[in-house]
């Protein structure tokens, strides 16, 4: 077993690169009932001193944050390049598959999500419970997973 | 403001679809110092009763779980098809950009990560602090972000 290099294993944020932040916010607010979050823009180079691969970059990004318990979802729409945000839009990393939530009454939650145009796509059982994946990819860019233990 | 459809906003898990689960585990254990997690395989159809788009599917997946505080990272390597796991490998959703951690002493953490072949790629300031992105994409499939508030 090696050292934990970061000195922490508390994930505080998951960052999603999105092509259109307003559309992304529409989807998250509709499903999670958030008040519409503010969209901020990263600072200009003069104050942000943004560097990319060791060189200054004037790239910026539109940002919006939503709290999901311990974890914050950060939506990121790149402005200009080069930046890791722009690189993210081109993909290449592991694909995020789902955001999971423990729920009670899967059938009822599925029905409510279906009313929002989010259809059940895959379901299965595991020892002690069941999982349900819903096709929220158009609205949220990722699948939702409902976990229910019996 | 609309209803929170799920009745909860506590994300409990982030699922990453990966092409090679053993290689993915190598990377996560090296950086976070985890004991190597067990790899399990989802149950056969007889007990899992897995359905995909309303029809039974014999697709399975290799799974590994690692705890990151409130949030669990689930690594998923698809076996066979059709499944949302296999779909995930083909992409299409929002791209996950980073996993973020609050740290103290960014320079020291950056140095330790660089010793593991994870180079700093982008850095910038915001009001009250700074962020650093590191290119952990080969080892972790996503970028790491260090957040440090002053």
Q: HEC states along B93-121? A: CCEEEEEEEECCCHHHHHHHHHHCCCCEE
B147 in contact with A at a CB cutoff of 8 Å?
yes
Range of the domain at A97: 19-149
Encode chain B (150 residues) as per-residue pLDDT tens digits: 577 777 788 888 898 888 899 998 988 888 888 899 999 999 899 888 888 888 899 999 999 999 988 889 999 999 999 988 888 887 766 768 788 888 889 999 999 999 888 999 899 988 889 989 888 888 887 888 999 998
The domain tally of chain B equals 1
Q: Would you say residue A14 lies in a domain? A: no
User: How many angstroms separate the CA of residue A78 from the nearest CA in chain B?
Assistant: 11
CA distance B140 to B23: 9
Which residues of B fall within a CB distance of 8 Å from A56? none
A1 in contact with B at a CB cutoff of 8 Å?
yes
C-alpha distance from residue A3 to each of A7, A81, B39, B69, B106 (Å): 8, 35, 22, 17, 17
Q: Would you say residue B3 lies in a domain? A: no
User: What is the structure's pLDDT at B21?
Assistant: 93
- Residue B59 has a CB neighbour count (10 Å cut-off) of 21
Q: In this model, does residue A17 exceed pLDDT 70?
A: yes
Q: Would you say residue B138 lies in a domain? A: yes
Q: How many CB pairs under 8 A join A and B?
A: 275
Q: Would you say residue B24 lies in a domain? A: yes
Sequence-distant (6+) residues with CB within 8 A of A115 are none
- Listed in order, strand segments (DSSP E) in chain A are 13-17, 40-41, 51-52, 55-56, 60-68, 71-79, 95-102, 120-126, 129-134, 143-149
Q: Which of A117, A96, A105 is nearest to A147 (CA)?
A: A105
CA distance B21 to B146: 25
Whole-prediction pTM value?
Answer: 0.83
Q: Would you say residue A111 lies in a domain? A: yes
Q: Would you say residue A7 lies in a domain? A: no
Q: Would you say residue A13 lies in a domain? A: no
CA distance B146 to B150: 13
B117 in contact with A at a CB cutoff of 8 Å?
no
Q: Domain holding B65: CATH number?
A: 3.10.180.10
Specify whether the CB–CB gap between A102 and B11 falls below 8 A.
no
Closest CB to B16 among A43, A47, A96: A96
pLDDT in tens, A29-54: 888 888 999 999 998 998 888 888 88
Which residues of B fall within a CB distance of 8 Å from A124? 42-43, 48-51
CA distance A80 to A9: 32
Q: Would you say residue B8 lies in a domain? A: no
Inter-chain CB proximity A125 and B49 less than 8 Å:
yes
CA distance B47 to A124: 9
Inter-chain CB proximity A94 and B48 less than 8 Å:
no
* Cα B44 from chain centroid (whole Å): 25
CA distance A118 to A116: 6
Element of type H or E holding A84? helix A84-89
User: So what's the ipTM on this one?
Assistant: 0.82
Which residues of A fall within a CB distance of 8 Å from B67? 9
**Residue found by looking up tokens 């979050």 in the block:** A37
Q: Classify residue A109 as left (phi > 0), alpha (psi -120 to 50) or beta.
A: alpha
């Amino acid at each position: 077993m090696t050292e934990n290099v970061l000195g922490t294993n508390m994930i505080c944020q998951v960052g999603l690169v999105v092509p259109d932040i307003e559309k992304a916010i529409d989807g998250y607010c509709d499903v999670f009932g958030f008040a519409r979050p503010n969209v901020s823009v990263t600072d200009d180079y003069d104050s942000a001193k943004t560097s990319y691969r060791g060189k200054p970059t004037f790239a910026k990004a539109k940002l919006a944050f939503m709290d999901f318990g311990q974890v914050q979802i950060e939506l990121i729409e790149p402005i200009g390049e080069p930046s890791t945000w722009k690189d993210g839009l081109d993909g290449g990393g592991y694909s995020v598959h789902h955001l999971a939530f423990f729920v009670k009454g899967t059938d009822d939650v599925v029905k409510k999500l279906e009313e929002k145009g989010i259809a059940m796509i895959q379901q299965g059982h595991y020892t002690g419970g069941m999982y349900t994946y819903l096709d929220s990819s158009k609205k949220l860019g990722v699948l939702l997973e409902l976990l229910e233990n019996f």
